[in-house]
Structure 1
Protein backbone atom coordinates (compact mmCIF):
# COMPACT_ATOMS: atom_id res chain seq x y z
CA UNK A 1 0.00 0.00 0.00
CA UNK A 2 2.81 2.31 0.90
CA UNK A 3 4.54 1.51 -2.39
CA UNK A 4 1.40 2.44 -4.37
CA UNK A 5 1.14 5.74 -2.48
CA UNK A 6 4.76 6.56 -3.24
CA UNK A 7 4.29 5.74 -6.91
CA UNK A 8 1.16 7.93 -7.15
CA UNK A 9 3.00 10.75 -5.40
CA UNK A 10 5.93 10.48 -7.78
CA UNK A 11 3.65 10.51 -10.81
CA UNK A 12 1.82 13.58 -9.43
CA UNK A 13 5.04 15.43 -8.81
CA UNK A 14 6.22 14.58 -12.31
CA UNK A 15 2.98 15.79 -13.88
CA UNK A 16 3.12 18.98 -11.83
CA UNK A 17 6.67 19.65 -12.95
CA UNK A 18 5.70 19.03 -16.55
CA UNK A 19 2.76 21.45 -16.24
CA UNK A 20 5.01 24.10 -14.72
CA UNK A 21 7.51 23.66 -17.53
CA UNK A 22 4.80 23.97 -20.19
CA UNK A 23 3.35 27.04 -18.46
CA UNK A 24 6.80 28.65 -18.30
CA UNK A 25 7.34 28.05 -22.01
CA UNK A 26 3.95 29.58 -22.80
CA UNK A 27 4.68 32.59 -20.61
CA UNK A 28 8.07 33.11 -22.28
CA UNK A 29 6.42 32.95 -25.70
CA UNK A 30 3.80 35.47 -24.58
CA UNK A 31 6.48 37.83 -23.27
CA UNK A 32 8.41 37.59 -26.54
CA UNK A 33 5.28 38.28 -28.62
CA UNK A 34 4.40 41.24 -26.40
CA UNK A 35 7.88 42.68 -26.79
CA UNK A 36 7.60 42.38 -30.59
CA UNK A 37 4.25 44.19 -30.54
CA UNK A 38 5.66 46.97 -28.36
CA UNK A 39 8.51 47.44 -30.82
CA UNK A 40 5.98 47.71 -33.67
CA UNK A 41 3.80 50.30 -31.87
CA UNK A 42 4.49 53.94 -32.79
CA UNK A 43 5.89 56.10 -30.00
CA UNK A 44 3.24 58.43 -28.60
CA UNK A 45 3.04 61.68 -26.71
CA UNK A 46 0.26 63.62 -24.99
CA UNK A 47 -1.69 66.47 -26.60
CA UNK A 48 -4.80 68.39 -25.57
CA UNK A 49 -8.13 67.70 -27.34
CA UNK A 50 -11.68 68.95 -26.82
CA UNK A 51 -14.22 66.72 -25.10
CA UNK A 52 -17.24 68.06 -27.04
CA UNK A 53 -18.11 70.04 -30.15
CA UNK A 54 -17.27 73.73 -29.75
CA UNK A 55 -18.75 76.44 -31.98
CA UNK A 56 -17.43 79.83 -32.98
CA UNK A 57 -17.46 82.34 -30.10
CA UNK A 58 -17.68 79.81 -27.24
CA UNK A 59 -15.39 80.18 -24.23
CA UNK A 60 -12.87 77.36 -23.89
CA UNK A 61 -12.68 76.08 -20.30
CA UNK A 62 -10.73 73.37 -18.48
CA UNK A 63 -13.88 71.20 -18.46
CA UNK A 64 -13.87 71.16 -22.26
CA UNK A 65 -10.40 69.63 -22.70
CA UNK A 66 -8.46 66.49 -21.86
CA UNK A 67 -5.08 64.90 -22.54
CA UNK A 68 -4.86 61.92 -24.92
CA UNK A 69 -2.03 59.86 -26.39
CA UNK A 70 -1.13 60.82 -29.97
CA UNK A 71 1.48 59.40 -32.39
CA UNK A 72 4.57 61.52 -31.70
CA UNK A 73 5.52 61.58 -35.38
CA UNK A 74 2.17 63.06 -36.41
CA UNK A 75 1.52 65.72 -33.79
CA UNK A 76 -0.28 68.64 -35.54
CA UNK A 77 1.59 71.94 -35.70
CA UNK A 78 0.27 74.41 -33.15
CA UNK A 79 -1.11 71.80 -30.74
CA UNK A 80 -0.71 71.92 -26.95
CA UNK A 81 1.26 69.36 -24.93
CA UNK A 82 -0.33 70.18 -21.57
CA UNK A 83 -3.36 71.87 -20.06
CA UNK A 84 -1.02 74.28 -18.25
CA UNK A 85 0.35 75.40 -21.63
CA UNK A 86 -3.20 75.96 -22.88
CA UNK A 87 -4.28 77.92 -19.79
CA UNK A 88 -1.13 79.71 -18.49
CA UNK A 89 -1.55 80.82 -14.87
CA UNK A 90 0.66 83.90 -15.27
CA UNK A 91 -1.58 85.42 -17.97
CA UNK A 92 -4.21 87.98 -16.97
CA UNK A 93 -7.63 86.74 -18.00
CA UNK A 94 -6.24 83.47 -19.37
CA UNK A 95 -9.55 82.37 -20.90
CA UNK A 96 -9.54 81.59 -24.62
CA UNK A 97 -12.31 81.89 -27.22
CA UNK A 98 -13.04 79.49 -30.08
CA UNK A 99 -12.71 81.13 -33.53
CA UNK A 100 -13.18 77.98 -35.64
CA UNK A 101 -15.56 75.10 -34.95
CA UNK A 102 -13.97 72.00 -33.41
CA UNK A 103 -15.43 68.50 -33.26
CA UNK A 104 -15.29 66.15 -30.28
CA UNK A 105 -11.78 64.71 -29.63
CA UNK A 106 -10.20 67.08 -32.16
CA UNK A 107 -6.75 68.47 -31.21
CA UNK A 108 -6.76 72.11 -30.11
CA UNK A 109 -4.64 74.25 -32.44
CA UNK A 110 -3.38 77.82 -32.13
CA UNK A 111 -5.25 78.76 -35.31
CA UNK A 112 -8.62 77.73 -33.82
CA UNK A 113 -8.55 79.70 -30.57
CA UNK A 114 -7.64 83.21 -29.48
CA UNK A 115 -4.65 84.16 -27.36
CA UNK A 116 -5.25 84.19 -23.57
CA UNK A 117 -7.60 87.00 -22.66
CA UNK A 118 -8.54 87.95 -26.24
CA UNK A 119 -12.05 87.80 -27.63
CA UNK A 120 -13.10 86.42 -31.01
CA UNK A 121 -13.16 89.83 -32.70
CA UNK A 122 -11.73 90.61 -36.11
CA UNK A 123 -8.44 91.81 -34.61
CA UNK A 124 -7.69 88.25 -33.48
CA UNK A 125 -7.85 87.07 -37.12
CA UNK A 126 -5.19 89.43 -38.47
CA UNK A 127 -1.69 88.17 -39.17
CA UNK A 128 1.33 90.33 -38.40
CA UNK A 129 1.61 93.28 -40.77
CA UNK A 130 -1.96 92.93 -42.07
CA UNK A 131 -4.86 95.33 -41.71
CA UNK A 132 -8.65 95.05 -41.96
CA UNK A 133 -10.66 97.19 -44.37
CA UNK A 134 -14.40 97.18 -45.12
CA UNK A 135 -15.75 97.33 -48.68
CA UNK A 136 -19.31 98.15 -49.70
CA UNK A 137 -21.02 95.44 -51.78
CA UNK A 138 -24.50 94.57 -53.02
CA UNK A 139 -26.24 91.56 -54.49
CA UNK A 140 -24.51 92.07 -57.86
CA UNK A 141 -20.99 92.94 -56.74
CA UNK A 142 -21.04 90.47 -53.82
CA UNK A 143 -21.51 87.22 -55.80
CA UNK A 144 -25.25 87.06 -55.04
CA UNK A 145 -24.73 86.56 -51.33
CA UNK A 146 -22.68 83.37 -51.58
CA UNK A 147 -19.63 84.84 -49.87
CA UNK A 148 -18.59 83.53 -46.44
CA UNK A 149 -15.85 84.50 -43.98
CA UNK A 150 -12.70 82.65 -45.00
CA UNK A 151 -13.38 82.86 -48.75
CA UNK A 152 -10.93 84.54 -51.13
CA UNK A 153 -11.95 86.97 -53.88
CA UNK A 154 -10.48 88.91 -56.77
CA UNK A 155 -11.35 92.62 -56.75
CA UNK A 156 -12.22 94.36 -60.04
CA UNK A 157 -12.51 98.14 -60.39
CA UNK A 158 -14.72 99.83 -62.98
CA UNK A 159 -14.38 103.54 -63.68
CA UNK A 160 -12.99 106.08 -66.10
CA UNK A 161 -9.44 105.52 -67.28
CA UNK A 162 -7.07 107.92 -68.98
CA UNK A 163 -8.88 109.95 -71.61
CA UNK A 164 -12.21 109.46 -69.92
CA UNK A 165 -12.76 106.01 -71.44
CA UNK A 166 -14.60 103.41 -69.35
CA UNK A 167 -12.38 100.58 -68.12
CA UNK A 168 -12.59 97.53 -65.85
CA UNK A 169 -9.35 96.35 -64.26
CA UNK A 170 -8.31 93.59 -61.87
CA UNK A 171 -6.66 95.49 -59.04
CA UNK A 172 -6.14 92.86 -56.29
CA UNK A 173 -6.20 89.05 -56.26
CA UNK A 174 -6.78 86.40 -53.58
CA UNK A 175 -8.03 88.88 -50.99
CA UNK A 176 -9.25 87.00 -47.92
CA UNK A 177 -12.62 87.82 -46.36
CA UNK A 178 -12.63 87.72 -42.55
CA UNK A 179 -16.13 89.06 -41.89
CA UNK A 180 -19.41 89.77 -43.67
CA UNK A 181 -21.36 92.61 -42.11
CA UNK A 182 -20.82 91.79 -38.41
CA UNK A 183 -20.43 88.02 -38.93
CA UNK A 184 -16.95 86.48 -38.65
CA UNK A 185 -17.97 82.82 -38.23
CA UNK A 186 -16.34 80.77 -41.01
CA UNK A 187 -18.76 77.87 -40.42
CA UNK A 188 -21.82 79.88 -41.45
CA UNK A 189 -23.38 78.10 -44.45
CA UNK A 190 -26.55 80.09 -45.13
CA UNK A 191 -26.28 82.69 -47.94
CA UNK A 192 -26.34 86.33 -46.79
CA UNK A 193 -26.91 89.43 -48.91
CA UNK A 194 -24.07 91.48 -47.48
CA UNK A 195 -23.85 95.25 -47.42
CA UNK A 196 -20.19 95.31 -46.37
CA UNK A 197 -17.37 92.80 -46.27
CA UNK A 198 -14.18 93.05 -44.24
CA UNK A 199 -10.98 91.83 -45.86
CA UNK A 200 -7.34 91.58 -44.84
CA UNK A 201 -4.80 93.63 -46.75
CA UNK A 202 -1.37 95.17 -46.44
CA UNK A 203 -1.27 98.92 -45.74
CA UNK A 204 -0.45 99.68 -49.38
CA UNK A 205 -3.41 97.56 -50.53
CA UNK A 206 -5.67 99.36 -48.04
CA UNK A 207 -4.79 102.66 -49.72
CA UNK A 208 -5.37 101.21 -53.20
CA UNK A 209 -8.76 99.71 -52.30
CA UNK A 210 -9.87 102.93 -50.60
CA UNK A 211 -8.94 104.99 -53.66
CA UNK A 212 -10.63 102.51 -56.00
CA UNK A 213 -13.85 102.52 -53.96
CA UNK A 214 -14.02 106.32 -53.99
CA UNK A 215 -13.38 106.70 -57.75
CA UNK A 216 -15.43 103.86 -59.22
CA UNK A 217 -17.32 100.68 -58.44
CA UNK A 218 -15.90 97.41 -57.15
CA UNK A 219 -16.92 93.91 -58.21
CA UNK A 220 -15.85 90.72 -56.43
CA UNK A 221 -15.10 87.41 -58.13
CA UNK A 222 -15.04 84.34 -55.89
CA UNK A 223 -11.80 82.31 -56.04
CA UNK A 224 -12.13 78.52 -55.91
CA UNK A 225 -10.87 76.52 -52.95
CA UNK A 226 -7.25 75.49 -53.56
CA UNK A 227 -6.94 77.74 -56.63
CA UNK A 228 -3.49 79.34 -56.44
CA UNK A 229 -3.24 80.34 -60.11
CA UNK A 230 -1.89 83.75 -61.06
CA UNK A 231 -4.51 85.87 -62.83
CA UNK A 232 -1.89 88.23 -64.21
CA UNK A 233 -2.88 91.62 -65.64
CA UNK A 234 -6.55 91.84 -66.60
CA UNK A 235 -8.01 95.02 -68.13
CA UNK A 236 -10.86 95.59 -70.55
CA UNK A 237 -11.82 99.03 -71.90
CA UNK A 238 -14.97 100.02 -73.73
CA UNK A 239 -13.17 100.30 -77.06
CA UNK A 240 -11.52 96.90 -76.56
CA UNK A 241 -14.88 95.36 -75.68
CA UNK A 242 -16.64 96.75 -78.79
CA UNK A 243 -13.66 96.61 -81.15
CA UNK A 244 -14.26 93.01 -82.25
CA UNK A 245 -17.92 93.71 -82.98
CA UNK A 246 -17.12 96.72 -85.19
CA UNK A 247 -14.43 94.80 -86.98
CA UNK A 248 -16.76 91.91 -87.78
CA UNK A 249 -19.37 94.33 -89.10
CA UNK A 250 -16.82 95.92 -91.42
CA UNK A 251 -15.49 92.60 -92.68
CA UNK A 252 -18.96 91.26 -93.66
CA UNK A 253 -20.14 91.34 -97.30
CA UNK A 254 -21.99 94.43 -98.48
CA UNK A 255 -25.71 93.80 -98.91
CA UNK A 256 -27.97 96.03 -101.08
CA UNK A 257 -31.76 95.81 -101.14
CA UNK A 258 -34.70 97.50 -102.83
CA UNK A 259 -38.31 97.71 -101.81
CA UNK A 260 -41.28 97.43 -104.10
CA UNK A 261 -44.99 97.20 -103.48
CA UNK A 262 -46.92 94.16 -104.60
CA UNK A 263 -50.57 94.78 -103.98
CA UNK A 264 -50.95 95.71 -100.35
CA UNK A 265 -47.55 94.28 -99.33
CA UNK A 266 -44.03 95.71 -99.39
CA UNK A 267 -41.44 93.22 -100.64
CA UNK A 268 -37.71 93.62 -99.88
CA UNK A 269 -35.45 92.12 -102.53
CA UNK A 270 -31.66 91.75 -102.53
CA UNK A 271 -29.98 93.20 -105.63
CA UNK A 272 -26.46 93.57 -106.94
CA UNK A 273 -24.72 96.56 -105.38
CA UNK A 274 -23.63 99.26 -107.79
CA UNK A 275 -20.87 101.60 -106.66
Structure 2
Protein backbone atom coordinates (compact mmCIF):
# COMPACT_ATOMS: atom_id res chain seq x y z
CA UNK A 1 0.00 0.00 0.00
CA UNK A 2 2.70 2.37 0.93
CA UNK A 3 4.67 1.44 -2.17
CA UNK A 4 1.68 2.15 -4.40
CA UNK A 5 1.27 5.62 -2.91
CA UNK A 6 4.89 6.36 -3.55
CA UNK A 7 4.51 5.21 -7.14
CA UNK A 8 1.46 7.46 -7.68
CA UNK A 9 3.33 10.41 -6.21
CA UNK A 10 6.27 9.80 -8.52
CA UNK A 11 3.98 9.61 -11.54
CA UNK A 12 2.22 12.82 -10.53
CA UNK A 13 5.49 14.68 -10.05
CA UNK A 14 6.76 13.42 -13.39
CA UNK A 15 3.59 14.54 -15.15
CA UNK A 16 3.79 17.95 -13.54
CA UNK A 17 7.41 18.36 -14.50
CA UNK A 18 6.69 17.29 -18.05
CA UNK A 19 3.82 19.77 -18.30
CA UNK A 20 6.01 22.59 -16.97
CA UNK A 21 8.80 21.73 -19.40
CA UNK A 22 6.37 21.68 -22.34
CA UNK A 23 4.98 25.06 -21.27
CA UNK A 24 8.41 26.67 -21.03
CA UNK A 25 9.48 25.18 -24.37
CA UNK A 26 6.43 26.51 -26.18
CA UNK A 27 6.87 29.97 -24.62
CA UNK A 28 10.53 30.19 -25.64
CA UNK A 29 9.63 29.44 -29.25
CA UNK A 30 7.17 32.32 -29.45
CA UNK A 31 8.68 35.33 -31.29
CA UNK A 32 8.10 38.93 -30.04
CA UNK A 33 5.65 40.90 -32.14
CA UNK A 34 7.28 42.79 -35.02
CA UNK A 35 6.62 46.57 -35.02
CA UNK A 36 6.46 47.89 -38.54
CA UNK A 37 7.22 51.61 -38.88
CA UNK A 38 6.02 53.02 -42.14
CA UNK A 39 8.30 55.76 -43.43
CA UNK A 40 6.51 58.93 -44.34
CA UNK A 41 7.54 60.57 -47.57
CA UNK A 42 8.19 64.31 -47.07
CA UNK A 43 7.47 66.36 -50.18
CA UNK A 44 10.63 68.16 -51.31
CA UNK A 45 11.87 70.45 -54.04
CA UNK A 46 15.32 70.94 -55.51
CA UNK A 47 16.65 74.42 -54.79
CA UNK A 48 19.93 76.16 -55.55
CA UNK A 49 22.31 76.59 -52.60
CA UNK A 50 25.86 77.79 -52.03
CA UNK A 51 28.32 74.96 -52.55
CA UNK A 52 30.83 76.68 -50.26
CA UNK A 53 31.23 79.90 -48.30
CA UNK A 54 30.89 82.82 -50.72
CA UNK A 55 32.65 86.09 -49.91
CA UNK A 56 31.43 89.52 -50.91
CA UNK A 57 32.75 90.79 -54.25
CA UNK A 58 33.78 87.39 -55.63
CA UNK A 59 32.56 86.06 -59.00
CA UNK A 60 30.70 82.76 -59.04
CA UNK A 61 32.55 79.84 -60.67
CA UNK A 62 31.95 76.10 -61.13
CA UNK A 63 31.42 74.41 -57.78
CA UNK A 64 30.03 77.50 -56.05
CA UNK A 65 26.40 76.45 -56.63
CA UNK A 66 24.65 73.11 -56.02
CA UNK A 67 21.14 71.68 -56.32
CA UNK A 68 19.83 70.02 -53.13
CA UNK A 69 16.51 68.58 -51.98
CA UNK A 70 14.72 70.91 -49.58
CA UNK A 71 11.47 70.25 -47.65
CA UNK A 72 8.70 71.85 -49.67
CA UNK A 73 7.10 73.45 -46.61
CA UNK A 74 10.41 75.15 -45.75
CA UNK A 75 11.13 76.65 -49.18
CA UNK A 76 10.96 80.42 -48.77
CA UNK A 77 9.87 82.97 -51.33
CA UNK A 78 12.76 83.94 -53.56
CA UNK A 79 14.42 80.53 -53.54
CA UNK A 80 15.56 79.35 -56.97
CA UNK A 81 13.73 76.12 -57.93
CA UNK A 82 15.16 73.63 -60.35
CA UNK A 83 11.76 72.79 -61.83
CA UNK A 84 11.25 76.42 -62.81
CA UNK A 85 14.83 77.32 -63.79
CA UNK A 86 16.88 74.15 -64.36
CA UNK A 87 19.90 75.98 -65.80
CA UNK A 88 20.21 78.57 -63.04
CA UNK A 89 23.41 76.97 -61.69
CA UNK A 90 25.07 77.80 -65.01
CA UNK A 91 23.31 81.08 -65.73
CA UNK A 92 24.51 82.63 -62.47
CA UNK A 93 28.18 81.85 -63.11
CA UNK A 94 30.21 85.04 -63.37
CA UNK A 95 27.81 87.10 -61.28
CA UNK A 96 29.19 89.00 -58.28
CA UNK A 97 28.29 88.13 -54.71
CA UNK A 98 26.63 91.18 -53.15
CA UNK A 99 26.40 89.85 -49.58
CA UNK A 100 28.23 86.97 -47.94
CA UNK A 101 26.60 83.51 -48.00
CA UNK A 102 27.50 80.32 -46.18
CA UNK A 103 27.80 76.80 -47.54
CA UNK A 104 24.36 75.20 -47.91
CA UNK A 105 22.51 78.52 -47.74
CA UNK A 106 19.77 79.01 -50.37
CA UNK A 107 20.78 81.33 -53.21
CA UNK A 108 18.64 84.42 -53.81
CA UNK A 109 18.92 86.45 -56.99
CA UNK A 110 18.84 89.78 -55.12
CA UNK A 111 22.07 88.84 -53.35
CA UNK A 112 23.92 88.59 -56.67
CA UNK A 113 24.91 91.29 -59.13
CA UNK A 114 24.78 90.61 -62.83
CA UNK A 115 27.22 93.17 -64.18
CA UNK A 116 30.59 93.54 -65.83
CA UNK A 117 31.29 96.63 -63.72
CA UNK A 118 33.36 96.76 -60.56
CA UNK A 119 31.78 95.76 -57.26
CA UNK A 120 31.56 99.25 -55.80
CA UNK A 121 30.08 100.67 -59.01
CA UNK A 122 27.50 97.88 -58.97
CA UNK A 123 26.29 98.56 -55.41
CA UNK A 124 26.37 102.36 -55.69
CA UNK A 125 22.79 103.72 -55.88
CA UNK A 126 21.67 105.46 -59.03
CA UNK A 127 22.58 109.16 -59.03
CA UNK A 128 25.21 108.82 -56.32
CA UNK A 129 28.99 109.17 -56.52
CA UNK A 130 31.73 107.43 -54.55
CA UNK A 131 34.42 109.84 -53.39
CA UNK A 132 37.52 108.77 -51.48
CA UNK A 133 39.07 111.07 -48.90
CA UNK A 134 42.29 110.55 -47.01
CA UNK A 135 41.72 110.45 -43.27
CA UNK A 136 43.47 109.19 -40.18
CA UNK A 137 42.44 107.88 -36.78
CA UNK A 138 42.71 111.36 -35.24
CA UNK A 139 40.14 112.81 -37.65
CA UNK A 140 37.75 109.83 -37.65
CA UNK A 141 36.29 109.44 -34.15
CA UNK A 142 39.41 107.76 -32.85
CA UNK A 143 39.32 105.11 -35.58
CA UNK A 144 35.90 103.67 -34.65
CA UNK A 145 34.13 104.58 -37.90
CA UNK A 146 33.08 101.49 -39.86
CA UNK A 147 31.77 100.92 -43.39
CA UNK A 148 28.03 101.51 -43.34
CA UNK A 149 28.16 104.19 -40.64
CA UNK A 150 26.76 107.69 -41.19
CA UNK A 151 29.04 110.67 -40.58
CA UNK A 152 29.19 114.44 -40.77
CA UNK A 153 32.08 115.99 -42.70
CA UNK A 154 33.93 118.81 -40.99
CA UNK A 155 36.35 121.26 -42.57
CA UNK A 156 39.10 122.85 -40.52
CA UNK A 157 40.91 125.75 -42.14
CA UNK A 158 42.71 128.99 -41.38
CA UNK A 159 40.34 131.87 -40.79
CA UNK A 160 40.14 134.68 -43.35
CA UNK A 161 41.79 136.93 -40.79
CA UNK A 162 45.06 135.33 -39.82
CA UNK A 163 44.94 136.68 -36.27
CA UNK A 164 41.76 134.61 -35.70
CA UNK A 165 43.65 131.31 -36.07
CA UNK A 166 41.70 128.33 -37.40
CA UNK A 167 37.98 127.68 -37.73
CA UNK A 168 36.00 124.46 -38.14
CA UNK A 169 32.49 123.84 -39.31
CA UNK A 170 30.28 121.10 -40.73
CA UNK A 171 29.99 121.17 -44.51
CA UNK A 172 27.89 118.02 -45.07
CA UNK A 173 25.73 115.87 -42.80
CA UNK A 174 24.42 112.32 -42.65
CA UNK A 175 26.84 110.95 -45.26
CA UNK A 176 27.18 107.19 -45.65
CA UNK A 177 30.61 105.56 -45.47
CA UNK A 178 30.76 103.01 -48.29
CA UNK A 179 34.17 101.55 -47.54
CA UNK A 180 37.30 101.83 -45.46
CA UNK A 181 40.17 101.25 -47.85
CA UNK A 182 38.85 98.24 -49.84
CA UNK A 183 36.59 96.92 -47.07
CA UNK A 184 32.87 97.47 -47.62
CA UNK A 185 30.00 97.33 -45.14
CA UNK A 186 28.81 93.93 -46.41
CA UNK A 187 32.24 92.36 -46.30
CA UNK A 188 33.55 93.06 -42.83
CA UNK A 189 31.93 95.45 -40.39
CA UNK A 190 34.56 94.83 -37.72
CA UNK A 191 37.38 96.61 -39.47
CA UNK A 192 37.67 100.12 -38.06
CA UNK A 193 39.82 103.00 -39.23
CA UNK A 194 43.54 102.82 -38.65
CA UNK A 195 46.06 105.59 -39.35
CA UNK A 196 46.63 106.73 -42.94
CA UNK A 197 43.61 105.10 -44.54
CA UNK A 198 41.00 106.15 -47.07
CA UNK A 199 37.29 106.52 -46.46
CA UNK A 200 35.02 106.22 -49.49
CA UNK A 201 31.84 108.28 -49.10
CA UNK A 202 28.49 108.06 -50.88
CA UNK A 203 27.69 111.53 -52.23
CA UNK A 204 25.44 113.35 -54.64
CA UNK A 205 27.26 115.03 -57.54
CA UNK A 206 27.15 118.52 -56.00
CA UNK A 207 28.32 117.12 -52.66
CA UNK A 208 31.29 115.55 -54.42
CA UNK A 209 32.24 119.00 -55.74
CA UNK A 210 31.96 120.46 -52.24
CA UNK A 211 34.25 117.78 -50.82
CA UNK A 212 36.77 118.15 -53.64
CA UNK A 213 37.07 121.88 -53.04
CA UNK A 214 37.16 121.47 -49.27
CA UNK A 215 40.16 119.13 -49.48
CA UNK A 216 42.11 121.98 -51.14
CA UNK A 217 41.09 124.47 -48.47
CA UNK A 218 41.91 122.63 -45.27
CA UNK A 219 41.69 119.38 -43.35
CA UNK A 220 38.63 117.14 -43.48
CA UNK A 221 37.41 115.23 -40.44
CA UNK A 222 34.63 112.67 -40.11
CA UNK A 223 32.27 112.95 -37.17
CA UNK A 224 30.45 109.71 -36.34
CA UNK A 225 26.68 110.05 -36.00
CA UNK A 226 24.54 108.13 -33.53
CA UNK A 227 22.67 105.19 -35.06
CA UNK A 228 19.42 106.75 -33.78
CA UNK A 229 20.33 110.02 -35.51
CA UNK A 230 21.45 108.47 -38.80
CA UNK A 231 18.26 108.83 -40.79
CA UNK A 232 17.80 108.93 -44.53
CA UNK A 233 15.85 111.65 -46.20
CA UNK A 234 17.56 114.74 -44.78
CA UNK A 235 17.55 117.67 -47.17
CA UNK A 236 20.70 117.94 -49.22
CA UNK A 237 22.59 121.22 -49.70
CA UNK A 238 22.29 123.09 -52.99
CA UNK A 239 25.15 123.10 -55.46
CA UNK A 240 27.47 125.99 -54.66
CA UNK A 241 29.95 127.64 -57.01
CA UNK A 242 32.98 129.53 -55.84
CA UNK A 243 32.85 128.37 -52.24
CA UNK A 244 31.83 125.74 -49.73
CA UNK A 245 28.33 125.94 -48.34
CA UNK A 246 28.07 124.86 -44.71
CA UNK A 247 24.81 123.06 -44.05
CA UNK A 248 23.14 122.10 -40.80
CA UNK A 249 19.95 120.03 -40.89
CA UNK A 250 19.49 120.95 -44.54
CA UNK A 251 19.73 124.72 -43.90
CA UNK A 252 22.56 126.68 -45.55
CA UNK A 253 24.17 128.89 -42.91
CA UNK A 254 27.56 130.12 -44.09
CA UNK A 255 29.75 130.31 -47.18
CA UNK A 256 33.55 130.37 -47.22
CA UNK A 257 35.43 131.21 -50.41
CA UNK A 258 38.79 129.96 -49.24
CA UNK A 259 40.66 133.18 -49.95
TM-score interval, smaller chain = 0.5 to 0.7
Check conservation: 2:140, 2:193, Cα contact below 8 A: no
Check conservation: 1:87, 1:116, Cα contact below 8 A: no
SS state at 1:212 partner: helix
CA, structure 1 residues 227+53, in 2 after alignment: closer, same or farther (shift >3 Å)?
farther
Q: In the alignment, what sits opposite 2:37?
A: none
CA, structure 1 residues 74+161, in 2 after alignment: closer, same or farther (shift >3 Å)?
farther
Q: In the alignment, what sits opposite 2:207?
A: 205
CA, structure 1 residues 173+73, in 2 after alignment: closer, same or farther (shift >3 Å)?
farther
| Separation in structure 2 between the aligned mates of residue 232 and residue 158 of structure 1, nearest angstrom | 19
Q: Does 1:123 align with 2:121?
A: yes
The number of equivalent residue pairs is 191
Taking the TM superposition and a 5 Å limit, the aligned residue runs for 1:98-109 are 98-109=97-108
Q: In the alignment, what sits opposite 1:64?
A: 64
| Separation in structure 2 between the aligned mates of residue 187 and residue 53 of structure 1, nearest angstrom | 14
Shift of 1:175: 1.7
| Separation in structure 2 between the aligned mates of residue 70 and residue 156 of structure 1, nearest angstrom | 54
Higher helix share: 1
Taking the TM superposition and a 5 Å limit, the aligned residue runs for 1:155-194 are 155-160=153-158, 166-184=166-184, 186-187=187-188, 189-193=190-194, 194=196
Check conservation: 1:48, 1:83, Cα contact below 8 A: no
| Separation in structure 1 between the aligned mates of residue 48 and residue 216 of structure 2, nearest angstrom | 48
CA, structure 1 residues 180+111, in 2 after alignment: closer, same or farther (shift >3 Å)?
farther
CA, structure 1 residues 108+73, in 2 after alignment: closer, same or farther (shift >3 Å)?
closer
Check conservation: 1:156, 1:168, Cα contact below 8 A: yes
- List per-residue Cα deviations over 1:31-82 (Å, max 9, x = no partner): xxx9xxx9xx9xx987533233222343323532245457699525xx6454
Q: Please, which runs of 5 or more residues in structure 1 have no aligned partner?
A: 1-33, 238-275
Q: In the alignment, what sits opposite 1:140?
A: 138
Shift of 1:157: 2.0
Check conservation: 2:45, 2:72, Cα contact below 8 A: yes
TM-score norm. by structure 2 comes to 0.56
SS state at 2:214 partner: helix
Check conservation: 1:178, 1:199, Cα contact below 8 A: yes
TM-score norm. by structure 1 comes to 0.54
Q: In the alignment, what sits opposite 1:114?
A: 113
Shift of 1:179: 2.4
Check conservation: 1:161, 1:167, Cα contact below 8 A: yes
Shift of 1:140: 0.7
Shift of 1:207: 0.6
| Separation in structure 2 between the aligned mates of residue 69 and residue 160 of structure 1, nearest angstrom | 67
- List per-residue Cα deviations over 1:68-100 (Å, max 9, x = no partner): 457699525xx64546456538xxxx5123243
| Separation in structure 2 between the aligned mates of residue 110 and residue 162 of structure 1, nearest angstrom | 54
| Separation in structure 1 between the aligned mates of residue 216 and residue 89 of structure 2, nearest angstrom | 45
Q: In the alignment, what sits opposite 2:50?
A: 50
- List per-residue Cα deviations over 1:175-229 (Å, max 9, x = no partner): 2222222334631524441422111211111011112222122111223446435
Root mean square deviation, CA, Å: 4.0
